[in-house]
């Protein structure tokens, strides 16, 4: 079964006074690109609303203070909520939510939440739903806490808190935060839950390889197609070669004064540094099903254009393969190396974002799976590319059985673009949801003709960037 295709955008609430920022607020919003998992989309919508409502409440309650605070301190207030997929397949969608808050005072705070859904039903999993031998797992958790942390740094009576959070039935009852990928279960205690702020968050990972008895069989993932997010500066510990031991992969980036990114990639004790054109570098580790591993680094350039540089992690030392011109991730978060999306701009009856499907090729570069360009953004309700027919336009109506019949788009129809091959056709729907295909061909100068008639004589609303 296909994996859920994720689109993660960001909502912003910001305030500036006399050229100085007073408040920076962001909240991730997550969507599905199609209706395959409609119940999961309902769960996403609820999370999106809660995240935005929380941001708006903090913004409204602190705006006046923020404007005074910046005058005295020279710093602005912040509230940032970011979602990062940890695992995404037909059995579970596991996300890490990170809320960073600074509302004045001595230091900021970060609170990590785990969101784990059954994509078939849209219901949130409790920890008990994905694990076996729950009492034995609890005993292992206590052992790991004592093994990796100084118990004297914990609050007095922390064992009672751990027990209460572990045996809580769900999020509403205060169950501890947890997430999973294909190799391990992560149990997370935020600052102040069992230890003071100075101790930082407390995490325990349960390896599937070492403790498969604690994980229900359906979640012991067999396919090795993981994608791990390192961001602009991050480290992941991952078994790259299947030898049972964790490798350390660290990525760091820094922008210089000439709009270049100085990036450093370190795999265990081997290091590679490069100077790349662009800004806002973000790195993703793509693990191939054949055991190969590559780092995809996305960089931004002018006009919100983004591109990917690909690094090989399979040799004695990491090395740069080169740039792919097939697109970049943008807001389409990759979660599987065998099935991911790359986006780009399309200039057919206007300018808009499109994506195509790819898999990780044997050479580490993206390999095209489906050449159809599909529009995205309309799933958020904000970016629908809609044209209005100025005349009756020859078209083919698509029937429910897949057949087509010759017809016309009536003058005045609203044509919502949905896909194209970039050369010979566009597909879309009307307001009633009926699907139509229109043949196009390139005009002798610029733009396209529709059966001999120039595009601007056929539609209103065609807008190109640049």
pLDDT digits (tens, 9 = 90+) for 39-98: 999 999 999 999 999 999 999 999 999 999 999 999 999 999 999 999 999 999 999 999
pLDDT at position 222: 66
Mean pLDDT value across residues 218-245:
88
In sequence order, the 6+-apart residues with CB closer than 8 A to the CB of 63 are 15, 22, 23
pLDDT at 256 over 90: no
Asked if the model's pLDDT at residue 302 lies above 80, the reply is: yes
Does the pLDDT at position 210 exceed 70?
A: yes
Asked if residue 381 has pLDDT above 90, the reply is: no
pLDDT in tens, 94-125: 999 999 999 998 899 999 999 999 999 999 99
Residue 241 is predicted with a pLDDT of 85
CB 307 within 8 A of CB 298: yes
- Pair 246, 237: CB distance under 8 Å: yes
Confidence of residue 223 (pLDDT cuts 50, 70, 90): low
On the question of pLDDT at 202 being above 80, the answer is: yes
- Res. 15: pLDDT tops 80: yes
Average pLDDT across the chain, whole number: 95
User: Using CA atoms, how far apart are residues 253 and 231, in angstroms rounded to an integer?
Assistant: 9
């Amino acid at each position: 079964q296909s994996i859920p295709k994720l689109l993660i955008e960001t909502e912003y609430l910001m305030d500036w006074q006399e050229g100085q920022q007073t408040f920076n607020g962001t909240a991730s919003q997550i969507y599905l690109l199609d209706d395959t998992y409609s119940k999961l989309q309902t769960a996403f919508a609820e999370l999106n609303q809660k995240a935005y409502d929380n941001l708006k409440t903090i913004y409204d309650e602190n705006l006046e203070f923020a404007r005074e605070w910046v005058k005295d301190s020279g710093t602005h207030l912040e509230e940032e909520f970011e979602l990062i997929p940890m695992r995404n397949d037909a059995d579970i969608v596991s996300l890490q939510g990170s809320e960073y808050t600074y509302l004045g005072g001595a230091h900021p705070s970060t609170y990590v939440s785990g969101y784990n859904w059954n994509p078939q039903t849209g219901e949130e999993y409790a920890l008990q739903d994905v694990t076996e031998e729950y009492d034995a797992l609890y005993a292992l958790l206590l052992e790991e806490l004592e093994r990796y942390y100084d118990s004297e740094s914990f609050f007095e009576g922390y064992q009672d808190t751990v027990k209460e959070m572990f045996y809580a039935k769900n999020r509403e009852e205060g169950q501890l935060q947890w997430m999973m990928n294909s190799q391990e279960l992560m149990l997370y205690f935020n600052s102040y839950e069992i230890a003071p702020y100075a101790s930082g968050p407390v995490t325990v990972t349960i390896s599937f390889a070492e403790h498969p008895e604690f994980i229900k069989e359906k979640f012991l993932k067999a396919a090795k197609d993981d994608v791990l997010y390192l961001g602009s500066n991050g480290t992941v510990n991952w078994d790259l070669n299947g030898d049972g031991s964790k490798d350390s992969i660290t990525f760091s980036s820094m922008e210089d004064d000439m709009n270049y990114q100085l990036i450093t990639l370190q795999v265990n004790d081997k290091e590679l540094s490069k100077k790349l054109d662009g800004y806002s570098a973000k790195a993703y580790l793509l693990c191939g099903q054949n055991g190969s591993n590559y780092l995809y680094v996305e960089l931004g350039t002018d006009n919100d254009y983004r591109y990917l540089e690909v690094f090989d992690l399979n040799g004695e030392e990491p090395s740069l393969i080169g740039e792919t011109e097939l697109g970049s991730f943008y807001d389409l978060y990759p979660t599987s190396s065998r099935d991911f999306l790359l986006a780009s701009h399309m200039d057919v009856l206007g300018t808009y974002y499109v994506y195509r499907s790819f898999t990780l090729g044997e050479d580490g570069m993206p390999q095209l799976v489906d050449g159809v360009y599909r529009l995205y953004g309309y799933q958020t309700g904000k970016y629908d590319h809609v044209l209005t027919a100025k005349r009756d336009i020859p078209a083919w109506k698509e029937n429910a059985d897949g057949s087509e019949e010759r017809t016309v788009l009536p003058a005045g129809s609203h044509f919502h673009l949905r896909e194209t091959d970039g050369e010979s056709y566009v597909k879309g729907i009307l307001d009633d949801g009926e699907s139509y295909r229109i043949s196009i061909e390139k005009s002798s100068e610029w733009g396209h003709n529709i059966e001999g008639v120039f595009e601007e004589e056929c539609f209103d609303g065609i807008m190109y960037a640049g």
